[in-house]
Amino acid sequence: MSLGHAGPTPYVGRFAPSPTGPLHAGSLVAALASWLDARAAGGLWLVRIEDVDLPRCQAGAADRILAQLAACGLLPDEPPLYQSQRGARYQQVLDDLVALRLAYPCACTRRDIDAALAAQGLARERHVERPYPGTCRQGLQGRAPRAWRFHATEYQSKMPEALDNQALEATFSIASNGTCWTDRRLGPQFQDVADQVGDFVLRRADGLWAYQLAVVVDDADQRVTHVVRGEDLADNTPRQILLQSALGLATPRYLHTPLVRAADGEKLSKQHGAPAIDDSRPLQALADAASALGLPPAGKENYLPQALALWVKAWAQNYNSTL
């Protein structure tokens, strides 16, 4: 079993928007929370533009997001990093994983995967993620490679011991029966990646880099110690912890923020047509985000820096003990 404990490292946090549209009320919550956490810890706050999925990106959205953040007084401490410029680095890391026999090429189409799962008696259900059946784990059998996958199943199975109570007190731990980590807001979390996700994709069949690989490499290269992001991403965390472990990288602390829901209960998202925040009234947009985070109203403060200072204090009271 491999156990992780947070050490006294200098704090580096980040906000990592995908520029598929401007900031909306939901993404501002993650932006504000990550900024508050960095400020409350006296650390650095970085912005990374996750434009790795270029076909989904919107022209001009990255600049718009940076301008919206600036209007809200959320200014990064270093120039933003753009994932679209990091292909060579991702390739190097994939090559390292291949050399370690921790990544393999996959020839399966979606239809092949469905057929293999059906043969195992696993019917397709809407909105239910099913694990990759492992078809190409032992080789391509003459088929042409399409994507690259991480040997998650084998990597996890080589972890000797099962999770125990000691593991639950650690910030994270990986065992042969699953990975657990302690989220700073949600508490102890668990996922058996081998069973629930299987060998996940690192490079997609269309040649694009998968989020899991890019996020792990960038968080490490940017020396990120604390990840604060929306709760919709929480179940990606064990995949990222496994990859970090396989690559010998440090695992950051994680805090997942509450999601903002639209009137119909759906998560607010760009795909759902969430409107851009009104950056001509940044204090109002921030006050809404602060309220979603359970922070007190800005009260009489109608001066942005003072309202932000008030929220930094309230945030520190809630979360500095979990750093």
Residues lying near ligand GLU in the complex (CB under 6 A) are found at 16-18, 50, 215, 229, 233
Minimum distance, C-beta of residue 27 to ligand GLU, in the bound complex (Å): 7
Q: What share of the chain is helix, strand, coil (3-state, %, to 5)?
A: 40, 15, 45
Distance CA 138, CA 140 (A): 7
Minimum distance, C-beta of residue 181 to ligand GLU, in the bound complex (Å): 14
CB-based contacts of 141, cutoff 8 Å, min separation 6: 107
Query: E-assigned strands of the chain?
Result: 2-4, 12-15, 44-49, 81-82, 103-106, 147-150, 172-175, 178-183, 187-191, 201-203, 226-230, 253-257
- Which of 242, 237, 243 lies closest to 217 in space, CA to CA? 243
Minimum distance, C-beta of residue 235 to ligand GLU, in the bound complex (Å): 12
In the complex with ligand GLU, the residue whose CB is nearer, 117 or 233, is 233
Minimum distance, C-beta of residue 179 to ligand GLU, in the bound complex (Å): 17
Task: Tell me the three state secondary structure of residue 202.
Answer: strand
Task: Tell me the HSE value of 118 on the side-chain side, using a 13 A CA sphere.
Answer: 7
In the complex with ligand GLU, the residue whose CB is nearer, 146 or 270, is 270
In the complex with ligand GLU, the residue whose CB is nearer, 24 or 149, is 24
Minimum distance, C-beta of residue 129 to ligand GLU, in the bound complex (Å): 17
Distance CA 29, CA 35 (A): 10
In the complex with ligand GLU, the residue whose CB is nearer, 217 or 283, is 217
In the complex with ligand GLU, the residue whose CB is nearer, 47 or 159, is 47
Minimum distance, C-beta of residue 15 to ligand GLU, in the bound complex (Å): 7
Minimum distance, C-beta of residue 292 to ligand GLU, in the bound complex (Å): 16
In the complex with ligand GLU, the residue whose CB is nearer, 146 or 256, is 256
CB distance 2 to 173 below 8 Å: yes
Minimum distance, C-beta of residue 215 to ligand GLU, in the bound complex (Å): 5
Distance CA 6, CA 56 (A): 35
CB-based contacts of 274, cutoff 8 Å, min separation 6: 24, 25, 26, 262, 268
Q: Which two tokens stand for residue 2?
A: 């491999």
In the complex with ligand GLU, the residue whose CB is nearer, 30 or 152, is 30
In the complex with ligand GLU, the residue whose CB is nearer, 136 or 255, is 255
Rg (CA), the chain: 20
